[in-house]
Amino acid sequence: MKKVLKFGGTSVGSIERIQHVANIIKKERDAGNQIIAIVSAMSGKTNELIDLSNQISKKFDKRELDVLLSSGEQVTCALLTGALIDQNLNAKSWLNWQIPILTSGEHTNSRIINMNISKINEHLSRGGIAIVPGFQGISEKGEITTIGRGGSDATAVAFAKAFNADSCEIYTDVDGVFSSDPNKIPVAKKIDQISYDEMLELSSLGAKVMQPSAVQTAMMYNIPLEVKSTFTDRKGTKIFDQENIDYRKSVTGVAYSKDDAKITLIGVEDKPGVAANIFEPMNKAQINIDMVIQNISSDQKTTDVTFTIKRNDFLKAKEILENNKNISYKSLTHNDKVAKVSIVGAGMVSTPGVTYRMFKALADEKINILAISTSEIKLSVIIDEENTLNAIKKLHTIFELD
């Protein structure tokens, strides 16, 4: 089998762990697989380098930041490759420019557009193992670029595509994708298999296991993913096409995001272009809008618009709404201590009553729902932040995820 294995920062966070990762790779190699391994910087390293750059300037030049940060994965690449060679394996590291991994876009936020793995393929066909740094590439001008935090997942998926890999395995410090945050909900269960769509919803909604854009790419090219632990032998979570999944449960997981704030504009004039007027200045101020809810207007002349944003954007957003003359409304209400709790499941569409059961469960717990938003495989509610844990626990129980 052709495999791409990706090892995150904690998986390579010490020499001992790097040796352990070398053992995992050796085992996969000995089983007859062709291996390309993608590595992150040792845990803490990227933050350490960012801290150094901040000490020099809060507006540290982005081209040079990429030169700085890319050194982190280079170190891991060399150490892991050295550890494999020490086990008499024919391993070799490839740096971004040696492949090359071509990217486009801005410094610190590029995306991979192409790569040439012909030399790597040649090396693998001779029984070799290839070690590659995640998170980075070079631009068409030959400048070092990085592809944003968590970008090593994207590197892994891009390699899996170019390599036509049979699987792309994301090794991390948890056993897989959980039905909810296992640190908060001790009864949260590892999910054995999940569709790309569900995974996307879960990761967009706060599950930090995989970078959403990497899941998206995997979905686009139908690359089977597996999230698993570097530190245990347990089976991980397989992520693949929805059609191949047997849904016994309507709800796969419960996700949440904290540090949200909610703003409601009451009595907004109900005519075309109003929503654009509200959100254009937000966009200019780089305020990310999460949920937007607008009801049919009762008097057919005005309507109420509710939206949620990150809490640290709250004051800026409020100021914009209060001072921008293009936005007219009767009054503004807000709550800057809310959380979003979501149930996710590709089986939801085919199971009647999921929506009702969610609302009933929250009512039983006397949790007030401040706003509701749905998609085909997701149902999100905004509630007071203090109720978050209670809500997750209750939903987890009634949807039989414990």
**Where do contacts with its own copies occur on this chain (CB under 8 A)?**
15, 18-19, 49, 52-53, 55-57, 59-61, 63-65, 67-68, 70-71, 74-75, 77-79, 81-83, 85-86, 92-93, 95, 97-98, 142, 144
Smallest gap from Cβ 60 to its own copies, in A, equals 5
Of 21 and 282, nearer to its own copies (C-beta) is 21
Smallest gap from Cβ 61 to its own copies, in A, equals 4
Smallest gap from Cβ 49 to its own copies, in A, equals 7
State how far the Cα of 301 lies from the Cα of 303, in Å rounded to an integer: 7
Cβ contacts of 249 within 8 Å, gap of 6 or more = 345, 347, 399, 400, 401
Of 143 and 313, nearer to its own copies (C-beta) is 143
Closest to 7 in 3D by CA, of 112, 132, 113: 132
Sign of the torsion formed by the C-alpha atoms of 198, 201, 205 and 208: positive
Smallest gap from Cβ 91 to its own copies, in A, equals 8
Of 52 and 285, nearer to its own copies (C-beta) is 52
Smallest gap from Cβ 248 to its own copies, in A, equals 46
264 with 206: CB under 8 angstroms? no
Smallest gap from Cβ 128 to its own copies, in A, equals 13
Of 119 and 330, nearer to its own copies (C-beta) is 119
Of 87 and 326, nearer to its own copies (C-beta) is 87
Of 74 and 216, nearer to its own copies (C-beta) is 74
CA 402 to chain centroid = 24
State how far the Cα of 41 lies from the Cα of 152, in Å rounded to an integer: 9
